[in-house]
Amino acid sequence: MELLTDDQITAELNESPGWALANGEITRTFTRQDFKDAFLLVGAVAFLAEEAGHHPDIDIRWNKVKLTLSTHSAGGLTAADFALARRISALPGPG
């Protein structure tokens, strides 16, 4: 996996509403109705992550789920991060 250039990161972010750059990673926080709903979302994220062979950091705070993506093996952001980010964003509901 090759690291993306700043121009490529900008282009990818433009196609990934809700995701923000922070400390060389991309992050997005989803707010659900309660803990149960948040946990169900994490289940879907876990499934997509396993399918992709790529796993976000997942922080659960009752009804909030913060996801953080980068490609540790490459030392930064790659196409794999944005591919998974968009697959997660395409789930029904996460707003």
Task: Give the residues lining the site for a copy of itself (CB under 8 A).
Answer: 35-36, 39, 42-43, 46, 49-50, 55, 57-62
Residue among 13 and 52 whose Cβ is closer to a copy of itself:
52
Residue among 9 and 65 whose Cβ is closer to a copy of itself:
65
Q: Where are the alpha helices (DSSP H) in the chain?
A: 6-14, 35-52, 79-89
Output phi, psi for 5, to 5 deg.
Answer: -80, 165
Report residue 75 as tokens.
Answer: 């030392």
Q: How far is the CB of 60 from a copy of itself (least distance, A)?
A: 4
